[in-house]
């Protein structure tokens, strides 16, 4: 079974990442699984989730899963042409905060990153094209609290893990996709 491509799409907040990922998914296949990692924890987030749902094609299957994304990729990756994960930013946060009392524990942080590495491994074992969307958080101000700094550092490392293994990496800047990596196959 030939493996699909792993495509990583990163950029700042509201840079057009999701829109570009959705257009890319459409171009890659008709059978698309959309894995949404957001959780509706307040009114503003509920509104964002609602807007994202309304925008998605009704032919896509949507799975709202904040943590068990790797398992879903493993199951869906053999039957779908495309899997779009939106987004690694929230998945990493969800994983990290499962044990909020251990956020500063370097062993727990490594467990979170191990889950990201396993997600990459699973992505390489399936035939689906896997698109992963994530925010670039390393270009802003240093957070003024420990949780913010730990999260920024973990997400930066998670992004690096995905980008290193990805076949293609795009950086979104003001709605414009910049191809920054393409593996020759």
CATH code (residue 44): 3.40.50.300
**Token pair of 45, please?**
């987030």
46 in a structural domain? yes
The single residue of 31, 49, 52, 75 carrying the catalytic annotation is 52
What's the total number of domains in the chain? 1
Question: Is the pLDDT assigned to residue 138 strictly greater than 70?
Answer: yes
Report the interhelical angle of 106-125 vs 88-96 (nearest 10°). 140
Q: How confident is the model at residue 54 (pLDDT cuts 50, 70, 90)?
A: confident
pLDDT at 11: 97
27 in a structural domain? yes
61 in a structural domain? yes
Nearby residues of 86 by Cβ (< 8 Å), 6 or more positions away: 17, 18, 21, 34, 35, 36, 37, 52, 133
pLDDT at 182: 95
Is position 52 annotated as part of the catalytic site? Answer: yes
177 in a structural domain? yes
Q: What residues make up the domain containing 148?
A: 6-182
170 in a structural domain? yes
- pLDDT tens digit string along 83-129? 999 999 999 999 999 998 998 999 999 999 999 999 999 999 999 99
1 in a structural domain? no
Q: How confident is the model at residue 50 (pLDDT cuts 50, 70, 90)?
A: confident
Q: How confident is the model at residue 57 (pLDDT cuts 50, 70, 90)?
A: low
Q: How confident is the model at residue 155 (pLDDT cuts 50, 70, 90)?
A: very high
């Amino acid at each position: 079974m030939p493996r699909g491509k792993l495509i990583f799409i990163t950029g700042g907040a509201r840079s057009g990442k999701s829109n570009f990922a959705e257009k890319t998914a459409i171009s890659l296949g008709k059978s698309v699984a959309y894995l949404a990692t957001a959780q509706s924890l307040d009114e503003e987030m509920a509104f964002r989730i609602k807007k994202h749902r309304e925008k998605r094609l009704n032919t896509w299957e949507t799975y709202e899963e904040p943590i068990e994304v790797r398992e879903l990729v493993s199951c869906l990756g053999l039957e779908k042409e495309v899997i779009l994960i939106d987004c690694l930013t929230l998945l990493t946060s969800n994983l990290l905060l499962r044990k909020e009392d251990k956020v500063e524990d370097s062993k727990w942080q490594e467990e979170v990153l191990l889950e990201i590495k396993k997600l990459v491994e699973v992505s390489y074992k399936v035939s689906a094209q896997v698109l992963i969307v994530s925010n670039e958080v390393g270009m802003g101000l240093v957070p003024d609290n420990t949780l913010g700094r730990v999260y920024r550092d973990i997400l930066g490392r998670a992004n690096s893990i995905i980008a290193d293994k990805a076949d293609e990496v795009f950086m979104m800047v003001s709605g414009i996709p910049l191809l920054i990596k393409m593996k020759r196959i």
